[in-house]
Amino acid sequence: MLIIIFKEAIMKGLIVVVEGLERTGKTTLCKEFEKRGFVYFKDFNRINYHDVTSLEGRLDTTLTFLQNLSENGVNVVVDRLHLSEYSYGNVFRKLQGTAKNVDYIDNAISKLNSVLIYCKDNDFEEYKKRMLLKYTPEYVEKLSNTFEYYFDKSEIKNKFEYEFTQCSASEYVNYIFKQINYYEYDFYLASPFFKDSQIQREEAVKNALRYEGYTVYSPRENGVLTPDATDEVRTKIFKENCEAIKKSHRILAITDEKDIGTIWEAGYAYGIGKEIVYYAETLGDNPFNVMLGKSGIGIFTKYSDLIEAAAAGIFFNKNEKGLNVQ
């Protein structure tokens, strides 16, 4: 008998808007999101929308574009949007009417699955000195105050301030993902489960990880296909597992016996920017496959070493579990 639990809802794409003054780590942060599979959308105001020439028209067209992507499950990181237009426009171009348009955009973005990140320098006095070749200290003060005002005013629920000297971009993206529960699982456990020995190995690893407090998605628990399973059932299982990989922080792939399904899952995960840990209990002294080895962040050949690493938390980047951020 085939037992399957299916999730009907498809997760909406996450829209991450990265704002702030120049040289405060925005591009580095955006590129880190891009590494995680996000579409990198940069400088909306420089994009040619054919016959759309007004600022209001470009903002509105950009909003429609982002709404459609989110509805279709596409994750997007946006390098500058409405806060930059309001702040720079107000300070340099005296566009007093811009605020009304920005309020509209902000309200619309807040209704999406969205995050707003304000990048800043934690040493503002030093920052003003660094910017002297481009802006006077007075202009920098005005820009900063305007960004701060509108960031505080924003209706977007998930708001974060990033001071780029406090941690790496990678650590901060991981922190944000944890804060908004972006990852549903710590690990996707890719493993064959066709023989008793394979099932026992999968069970042991899964239970040990859960004992250490990790959330684990097990394809075996999601549903085991029988030889007479219909194409519809196979398609649903495939889609379900692909979604679970997307919703997992990392992949733990048990590559003993070179199961092609496990290898495919690892390749798919790597292709969308996931970190992969490999466990090959029966490898012995034989060399690990170069394509797998170079795509992973760790290779374990002993169960005791794997569990010790899980208990020590070394699967996580430095400071990731206790990042000191506001």
pLDDT digits (tens, 9 = 90+) for 239-284: 999 989 988 888 999 988 888 999 999 999 988 878 899 998 877 6
pLDDT the model gives residue 140: 84
Residue 7 has pLDDT above 50, yes or no: no
Six-digit token pair at 313? 């938390």
Same-domain pairing of 26 and 174: yes
Stretch 218-244: mean pLDDT, rounded? 88
**Of residues 192, 226, 193, the one with CA closest to residue 1:** 226
What pLDDT does 81 receive?
87
Q: Are residues 39 and 169 in the same domain?
A: yes
The residues that bridge with 279 in the sheet, in sequence order, are 254, 300
**pTM higher than 0.85, yes or no?**
no
Give the separation between CA 48 and CA 55, rounded to whole angstroms: 12
In percent, how much of the chain has pLDDT > 90?
A: 25
Alpha helices (H) along the chain: 26-35, 55-71, 82-92, 98-110, 124-130, 137-153, 169-179, 196-211, 219-222, 231-246, 260-271, 290-293, 303-312
Indicate whether 119 and 71 sit together in one domain: yes
In a domain, 38, yes or no: yes
Q: What percent of the chain has pLDDT over 70?
A: 84
Q: Please say whether the beta carbons of 54 and 60 come within 8 A.
A: no
Report, as an integer, the average pLDDT of 20-40: 89
More confident residue, 91 or 84: 84
Range with the poorest average pLDDT among 7-21, 64-78, 197-211, 233-247? 7-21
Instruction: Give CA–CA dist 77/117, Å, rounded.
Output: 10
Last residue of a domain, one of 158, 179, 200: 179
What's the rounded Cα separation, in Å, for the pair 142 and 186?
43
Structural domain for 77, as ranges: 15-179
Is there a domain that residue 8 lies in? Answer: no
* 110: its two tokens: 């807040």
pLDDT for 44 equals: 59
Q: According to the per-residue pLDDT averaged within each range, which of 11-15, 124-128, 199-203, 298-302 is highest?
A: 199-203
* Token code pair at residue 223: 């549903």
Please check whether residue 6 lies inside any domain of the structure: no
Shared domain for 297 and 161, answered yes or no, is no
Q: Of 114, 145, 179, at which residue does a domain stop?
A: 179
Query: With the CA atoms of 247, 248, 253 and 254 taken in that order, what torsion angle do they form, in degrees rounded to the nearest 10?
Result: -100
The answer for residues whose C-beta is within 8 angstroms of residue 35's C-beta and 6 or more apart is 273
Q: Highest-confidence range of 13-17, 81-85, 90-94, 143-147, by mean pLDDT? A: 13-17
Helix (H, G, I), strand (E, B) or coil at 96: coil
Within-domain flag for 321: no
Tell me how many domains the chain contains: 2
Q: How confident is the model at residue 314 (pLDDT cuts 50, 70, 90)?
A: low
Confidence at residue 4, expressed as pLDDT on a 0 to 100 scale: 32
Q: Is the pLDDT of residue 238 over 70?
A: yes
Q: Specify the pLDDT at position 91.
A: 65
Structure tokens given for 300? 């374990």
SS3 52: strand
